[in-house]
Structure 1
Amino acid sequence: MSPLDTEQVLRPDVHEPFSFTQIGLGWQPWLPPLPIEQMTDRHYDGLVEAERAKMPYFALLVREPEILRARTLTDFDVFQNTEGGLPQWERELAATAASRVNGCVFCASVHAKNASRMSERTADVQRLLDEGVSAPVDERWDAIVEAARALTVTPSEFSIEHVRALSDAGLNDLDIADAIAGAAFFNWANRLMLSLGEPTVPPRARAAMEAEAALSAASA
């Protein structure tokens, strides 16, 4: 029997992912999102991007629109600001590592896919998902992932040694700030998402996940 066929008895309509993946996943909230027909200008201001009203996660968070707006603008500045600093794909790598440690399969899928697309290092990103943050790749990659791991486990575990390793790997002060911001933001965001709902496998992704699992098993 495929892991995707072992649905929970009380929720037979929900298919949960059984592994970390770069395949696009869905997300189901445990609390009701705000219906689109109830959204006002205040809510759309909080969403920042109107199309997010159709996304269950943001439609839930928009019940507190001012908080959501601050969260979204921070997210955009951390991951989309191209005025210097760490390449965007390495910020996505830091977020992927944090999500891998926290067990947020949905966030890991989003940021792993972004990291792969931007870096063209799909195999390395998949190795991180499959083997975890201890899988070595190269000095720079390993320093970013280890810094993200330490920050995610508990901020006090992050130390001057992590900063030194990042610097030795070629990161300047602004790069290091970006690596820390990417990991720290998603360390927080993962825990919020994990407390509000769960990832799901949309019908369109089921076959792809089955194929991914078969390929992983064959190469093991």
Structure 2
Amino acid sequence: MPYIPLSEKLPGITGLLDYRKDTALPIRQLTQILLRGESTLTEGERELIATVVSQGNECKFCTAAHTAAASILLNDDNIAEKVKADIDTAPVSNKMKALLKIGQAAGRNGRLVTEEMVAAAKAEGATDMELHDTVLIAALFSLYNRYVDGLASVTPADPAFYNRLGNILKDKGYLPSENRYAEL
């Protein structure tokens, strides 16, 4: 049961963003830039970063939502699951493995990102912008994870819910829109 009154039709982050639209707008805009804006990382790869950060923070809602979005964007249901199970053996590039490890570390505590991790990512071809955006995605999703769990928002158990949400994120991105969640 959420700690504050939220729309029963909008579980997880959706209800929280709806609750206070003025504070939601700037974080939605930042999320849109980081996950859907111009980047040398694909949208699916950026969703994988959100996934591993959310998993590391034990946020079930965000982990399920971004696992679904990554799977849809990568057109593969297994990659996100394999990344969550073991980054080292997941079927992603070595550069992506290095960035995912940085995201995972930054999601727990920014000081856990080491010079060695950055050097390893750069050795695999990661750019300064990719490093920057990985850490910023990790910081942003740590905020989201704490927001969702800190107010005990509803976390649906039905995997079909997350598939619907993943498709909304793929098709509509992160900016607010009229009837945004009509398909939930």
TM-score normalised by the shorter chain: which range applies? 0.7 to 0.9
Q: Distance in 2 between matches of 1:105 and 1:176?
A: 26
Q: Deviations 1:178-217 (Å, cap 9, x if unpaired)?
A: 2222222111111111111241224967xxxxxxxxxxxx
The answer to which structure, 1 or 2, has the higher relative contact order (CA under 8 A, 6+ apart) is 2
- TM-score computed with the length of structure 2 as normaliser: 0.73
**Which residue matches 2:129?**
174
- Say whether the 8 Å CA contact 2:82–2:89 is kept in structure 1: no
Q: Deviations 1:45-72 (Å, cap 9, x if unpaired)?
A: xxxxxxxxx5344444444332111111
- Which stretches in structure 1 are left out of the alignment for 5+ residues? 1-27, 36-53, 206-220
**Which residue matches 1:136?**
89
- Which stretches in structure 2 are left out of the alignment for 5+ residues? 162-184
**Which residue matches 2:24?**
68
What is the number of equivalent residue pairs in this alignment? 157
Matched, 1:105 2:38: no
Look up the SS of the partner of 2:6 in the other structure.
Answer: coil
- Say whether the 8 Å CA contact 2:107–2:138 is kept in structure 1: yes
Q: What pairs up with 1:201-212 in 2 under 5 angstroms?
A: 201-202=157-158
**Which residue matches 1:47?**
none
Shift of 1:80: 1.1
Change in Cα spacing, 1:203 to 1:77, as seen in structure 2 (3 Å) is closer
Matched, 1:33 2:6: yes
Q: Distance in 2 between matches of 1:58 and 1:116?
A: 20
Look up the SS of the partner of 2:126 in the other structure.
Answer: coil
- TM-score computed with the length of structure 1 as normaliser: 0.62
Which one of the candidate residues 165, 187, 197 is aligned to 2:142? 187
Matched, 1:91 2:64: no
**Which residue matches 1:41?**
none
Q: Deviations 1:76-120 (Å, cap 9, x if unpaired)?
A: 1111102x3322111111110001101111111111122222223
**Which residue matches 1:78?**
34
**Which residue matches 1:209?**
none
Change in Cα spacing, 1:148 to 1:203, as seen in structure 2 (3 Å) is closer
- Say whether the 8 Å CA contact 1:31–1:196 is kept in structure 2: yes
Q: Distance in 1 between matches of 2:146 and 2:26?
A: 17
Change in Cα spacing, 1:63 to 1:55, as seen in structure 2 (3 Å) is closer
Task: Find runs of 4+ consecutive structure 1 residues off by over 6 angstroms.
Answer: none
**Which residue matches 1:154?**
109
Q: Distance in 2 between matches of 1:160 and 1:61?
A: 36
Aligned Cα RMSD in Å? 2.5
